[in-house]
Amino acid sequence: METVREDLKQANAIIKSRHNYFCGLVDQAKKDEIGCGDMFFESPDGQNGELYYELMKLGYRNAGYAAEYDWKVKKDGYMIMYTEGDIYIKEYEK
């Protein structure tokens, strides 16, 4: 699971470098305040779609795409589920 978190952080860094305002993964204190999933990603202008495509570049495969704000990707026995900022990381059987 730590590899998945590192992939999310790597994709996040790329996305943040493109924008001159706050977007991306929030810190643990903010996540706890929001009361969301395993992680939370702020996306004021469609950066959630950028996150999906950056993860695809890191070798993840589509596991269900409804919209930029609602998608799933999987890789190496783990699935990342994204819904309106909430990120959940789950194991799945290959």
**Sequence ranges of the domains in the chain:** 2-91
Phi, psi dihedrals of residue 64, rounded to the nearest 5°: 145, 115
| Cβ atoms of residues 56 and 71 within 8 Å | no
Which residue bears the tokens 């810190």?
Answer: 27
pLDDT in tens, 25-73: 999 888 888 878 899 999 999 899 999 999 999 999 999 999 999 999 9
Which residue bears the tokens 């790597």?
Answer: 10
Q: How confident is the model at residue 5 (pLDDT cuts 50, 70, 90)?
A: very high
In angstroms, the CA 74 to CA 89 distance is 10
Q: Report which of residues 93 and 22 the model is more confident about.
A: 22
